[in-house]
Structure 1
Amino acid sequence: MSALCRMIHRGVLSGRWSCRLLAGQQDVCGVSATVRAASSSSPVNLTYDVFDGKGESTPLVFLHGLFGSKSNFHSIAKSLVQRTGRKVLTVDARNHGNSPHSPVLTYEAMSSDLKHLLSQLRIEKCILIGHSMGGKTAMTTALMQPGLVERLVVVDISPTQTTARGNFQYYIRAMQEVKVSSNLPRSTARRMAEDQLRSLVKEHSVRQFLLTNLVEQNGHYAWRVNLDSISAHLDSIMSFPSFDTVYEGPTLFLGGANSAYISSDDYPEIQRLFPYADIQYIPDASHWIHADKPLDFISSIITFLHS
């Protein structure tokens, strides 16, 4: 999906930081968001998958990005279980995947959901790995609840305002306008939806990613993401909460060399909030590092765990 992030950045850092490259009832219906309402003032019960390792080391917890789901990291999780022996969790954020819908979509709320889940699972400490929106949730959690986070991996995002590097509002509008006939085979429904997305979502890879959210319910098709809530909170999703606290645990910022989501302009704020951060870039990777370069991504995480 490099069309979302065409700029290429390679930075150079000094001091203790390092910045380096690593090897039915109607024929046609609007496709609306599925409804799983949740209270706006309390944590929601997140859906998650567990990949059980035999080791006793601190578990890894993966948080996906905007329009993503826990399945984005399934193959990565299975590999990490085999390579490290650790338990690995992949988690659906509120308003995403199979987690409940809520009118609120802020990083503080998503962090509260995660804390609630870890408490339910009796996980006192984890290694938190978050991509994009999930990376901002992971940073928020580390800054608000540092005792929960033994180590932190932030994947291709920074603790700053994310400028308009993606046409997310266009994606939302395109998804809201999709109309798919009822009682169609899933493959036919996907083709019909993709044809309608094409006018506003030019990149084939992005359309395929968005279509992972098209689900069938009793013969009707719906988006499982809460498009209304995402649209209402898009500004806050693109920004980052203000913090005066710091997270002093080991931290890895892992960027794609073909992505502009972590730039040298972000380094001072990264250093202020995460004084023990290491910034690395994976060559030939876009914003979706784990999809573009899964072996390099896994290797970077394992190296970080042993550092």
Structure 2
Amino acid sequence: MLNVLTHGAPGANPPLLIVHGLYGSGRNWGVIAKRLSDERQVIAPDMRNHGDSFWSDDHGYPDMAGDLAEVIEAHGGPADVVGHSMGGKAAMVLALTRPELVNRLIVADIAPVPYGHSQIQFIKAMRSVDLSAVEKRSDAIEQLAKVVPDKTLQSFFTQSLDLKEKRWKLNLDGLAQEMPKILSFPDIDGRFDGPVLFLSGGESDYVLPEHRDRIRTYFPKARFAKLPGTGHWLHAEKPREFEASVRAFLSMA
């Protein structure tokens, strides 16, 4: 099963499963997960090929949705689910194929559509780091800065660095091989009739008006909201506002 970090104890409310995006980990969501655990248990897994979870040659969304179903069942499910980017697609496939395991779904800045932009450049950037010369995280950030100017991304990527073992906690080769699947969305004949919030970055172009018909085919009760002043990494850019949006949606009757 996936490696999971849990915050808080099981209670009256359903558990909340937080599913990270590409190159992330459950640890990335630590602050938000801890804050949300005041009302429910929060479960933040490392997806396959990420963090401390197992590596696999298969990284398609049906595989990832199956992993998430195992986690929810192991924690007594069903659960409320938040998924960002790749994690949002995995969460959508989970809701469409195992709707009995999902109460409410929050999809952060992604749509159930294929995307044309590749993320391979970041794999190349991480591969370019001379890990033998890295003694502390700032050494890796200094090297990454030459090819990744965004400070937020530099910090984000180096959270997946095992300094002691001098290795990335990411299956970079496997993720590169499976990138076409990660960028796509599987053809699913399913529907999720529960409440769904598509929460997007106000300055992001990942969820467009032309995606809404496709979204409503899968999720007829979908609602849409934007977090002003944020891009694709909306939860990292405005964590308190993101947390408030999640709380408001989960508390709706």
Give the aligned residue type for 2:22. Answer: L
Aligned partner of 2:68 in structure 1 is 114
User: Once the two structures are superposed, what CA deviation does each residue of 1:221-270 show, in whole Å capped at 9, x if it has no partner?
Assistant: 10110001110011110111111211000000000101111111111101
Larger Rg: 1
CA distance, structure 1, for counterparts of residue 56 and residue 11 of structure 2: 36
CA distance, structure 2, for counterparts of residue 169 and residue 256 of structure 1: 22
Aligned partner of 1:102 in structure 2 is 56
1:62 and 1:91 in contact (8 A); partners too: yes
Aligned partner of 2:36 in structure 1 is 80
Residue 293 of structure 1: CA displacement? 1.4
Aligned partner of 2:188 in structure 1 is 243
CA distance, structure 2, for counterparts of residue 87 and residue 198 of structure 1: 37
2:14 and 2:77 in contact (8 A); partners too: no
CA distance, structure 1, for counterparts of residue 10 and residue 166 of structure 2: 40
Give the aligned residue type for 2:14. Answer: T
Residue 181 of structure 1: SS of its match in structure 2? helix
Residue 180 of structure 1: CA displacement? 2.5
- TM-score normalised by length of structure 2: 0.94
CA distance, structure 1, for counterparts of residue 37 and residue 168 of structure 2: 31
State which of 206, 209, 214 in structure 1 corresponds to 2:153. Answer: 206
1:68 and 1:96 in contact (8 A); partners too: yes
Gaps of 5+ in 1: 1-44
Number of residue pairs the alignment of both structures matches: 252
CA distance, structure 1, for counterparts of residue 7 and residue 156 of structure 2: 23
Give the aligned residue type for 1:149. Answer: V
1:170 and 1:201 in contact (8 A); partners too: no
Q: Which one is further off, 140-149 or 235-244?
A: 235-244
CA distance, structure 1, for counterparts of residue 200 and residue 173 of structure 2: 30
Aligned partner of 1:141 in structure 2 is 94
Give the aligned residue type for 1:50. Answer: T
2:28 and 2:159 in contact (8 A); partners too: no
Matched, 1:230 2:175: yes
Give the aligned residue type for 1:69. Answer: S
Give the aligned residue type for 1:228. Answer: D
2:25 and 2:47 in contact (8 A); partners too: yes
Residue 198 of structure 2: SS of its match in structure 1? strand
Aligned partner of 2:85 in structure 1 is 132
User: Once the two structures are superposed, what CA deviation does each residue of 1:21-58 show, in whole Å capped at 9, x if it has no partner?
Assistant: xxxxxxxxxxxxxxxxxxxxxxxx11111112463111
Gaps of 5+ in 2: none
Say which structure, 1 or 2, has more relative contact order (CA 8 Å, 6+ apart).
1
Matched, 1:49 2:5: yes
Identical aligned residues as a percent: 36
Question: Once superposed, what is the RMSD of the aligned Cα atoms?
Answer: 1.5
CA distance, structure 2, for counterparts of residue 195 and residue 59 of structure 1: 39
Residue 186 of structure 1: CA displacement? 2.0
1:118 and 1:124 in contact (8 A); partners too: yes
Matched, 1:197 2:147: no
Residue 200 of structure 1: CA displacement? 2.9
CA distance, structure 2, for counterparts of residue 241 and residue 149 of structure 1: 19
- TM-score normalised by length of structure 1: 0.78
